[in-house]
Every structure is written in C-alpha cells, then in structure tokens.
Structure 1
C-alpha cells in the first residue's frame, strides 16, 4: 500500500482532524507500543498499520 493511499483511507474513515490526531496521538499495542506515524517511520508497512487501526477501532470489514 502506498503511503498516500494509507492517508486517504485514514481520512475517509476517521475524518481529517480525528484521522490526523490518531496517527500521532494514539498508541497501538499491536504496533509495539508505537503510534501509527512512528510505526510507519520505523518501516512498518502502511497496510499493516491500517489493519491495526481497523482492528483497534472496529472498522467494518467492507471498509478495510
């Protein structure tokens, strides 16, 4: 998944403001206790980060 696609999905699902906040403020245990932004910066595939966000916030399967 390209980074631009990841950001588009985050903003579509969570909205601009909340999505941007989730990327830098919410710590995901499934990402090793990192934020989504930190995980991506550390080299985690954006698709894996998107899946972690979907799992954490119960995003329905059809929107994943």
Structure 2
C-alpha cells in the first residue's frame, strides 16, 4: 500500500473525521504514535492502515485492498 492509497482508504472509510483520526488518535500498537507520526517514522502505510482499522473496529471485509483505484478499462 502506498501512502496515497492509505490516504484514500482513510478518507473513504472515515469521511470528514479522517484528518482528525490520523492526527490525533494514538495507536498503541505503533509505539503510541498517531497514524501521521507512524508514517513519518517509516512504518509502512499498510501497517498503519491495519492498526487504525483495528483501533476503530473497521470490519475485516473493509480492510483489505482499501484505497486502491479501480483498474482502467480499455
């Protein structure tokens, strides 16, 4: 997962709360960092996404592949 995919996934899942969650919610599984701090510290966006999902009880079926763009049609 790229950072842009992470950002799309967060906005898609959390809507207007997305920026507040990534900036303010401390994730204990990522060393007591926010999502923003974790990514800046070099933690892969996919790991941050999964930790954020776990902390906010996002259903498992909405976690995998989140943030990916649909393939282009030819």
Q: Name the TM-score class by shorter chain.
A: over 0.9
Are 1:53 and 2:52 an aligned pair? yes
Q: Distance in 2 between matches of 1:55 and 1:34?
A: 14
Q: TM-score, normalised by structure 1?
A: 0.95
Q: Distance in 1 between matches of 2:58 and 2:21?
A: 14
Alignment-derived partner of residue 29 in structure 2? 30
Going by fraction, where is helix more abundant, 1 or 2?
Answer: 1
Alignment-derived partner of residue 11 in structure 2? 11
| Runs of 4+ that moved beyond 2 A | none
Cα-Cα RMSD: 0.6
Bigger Cα Rg:
2
> How many pairs are equivalent?
63
Structure 1 gap segments, 5+ residues each: none
Q: TM-score, normalised by structure 2?
A: 0.82
Are 1:43 and 2:42 an aligned pair? yes
